[in-house]
Structure 1
């Protein structure tokens, strides 16, 4: 039987990400915060795990294929939350005009990152798995 049910051998092994752009990013982002470490560990697990066709499609959609409900959108809303003095008390020590500037950029980030255009190629990858 073809697919994820093949016995793991050198010929069908999932390649390590360490010497790739992804591996470099995962290494570069280490040490920022425990929450980021968890995200990086999750991405590394996803990249190294064996997946079925269905799981691959679901993961692509969940990571970046749906501007209404994917990790990019969740990250965008987290950025917006961190950029607002209403939800991040650390910013309350900044002058009011600076707080408003930070908040404006956070709002623009969520607007930009949730633009369906930025999710289109991941969505197309999901459709291509179905032969659409």
Structure 2
């Protein structure tokens, strides 16, 4: 990919791994479409250095997991728990328990501070 664009423009995501991923996530649910739109906006926006640092921390670089990665982990736990997702209550109890446990494990994994090291290091590399 040519990183030198005319007038130093932000290059489009179409044809990139990010663009392909966003396309693959289309039309699953209106909430996912909103997230896709937000990610595309972030990818195409002309950001300054401070905005870039804030976004890196907000996406996946917060040491206490108050970032989007952490929020996704908590949402997965909520969606996989019959206490908070009535759709699961029709399943046998053992399936409900397995789903809730796996959702909890996902949250545990996605809120692990070690997952944030790379984003935090990228953020630190931008300090002037």
TM-score for the superposition, normalised by structure 2: 0.93
* Distance in 2, Cα, partners of 1:97 & 1:68: 30
Is it true that 1:53 corresponds to 2:49 in the alignment? yes
Mapped pair 1:100 → 2:97: yes
Distance 1:35 1:19 in 2: 23
Q: Which runs of 5+ in 2 are unaligned?
A: none
1:6 is matched with none
Partner residue of 1:3? none
The list of structure 1 runs, each at least 4 consecutive aligned residues, that deviate by more than 2 angstroms after superposition, is none
Deviation at residue 48 of structure 1 after TM alignment: 0.2
| 1:94 positional shift | 0.3
**Which structure 1 segments of 5+ residues have no match?**
1-8
State the number of aligned residues: 123
Note if 1:110 corresponds to 2:113: no
> In the alignment, which residue of structure 2 is the partner of 1:71?
68
Asked if the contact 2:59/2:69 (under 8 Å) is kept, the reply is yes
Give the CA RMSD over aligned residues: 1.1
What secondary structure is seen at the aligned counterpart in 2 of 1:15? Answer: coil
Normalising by structure 1, we get a TM-score of 0.90
Q: 1:64-103: per-residue Cα shift (whole Å, max 9, x none)?
A: 1014210000000000000000000000000000000000
How far apart, CA to CA, are the structure 2 residues paired with 1:24 and 1:118? 23
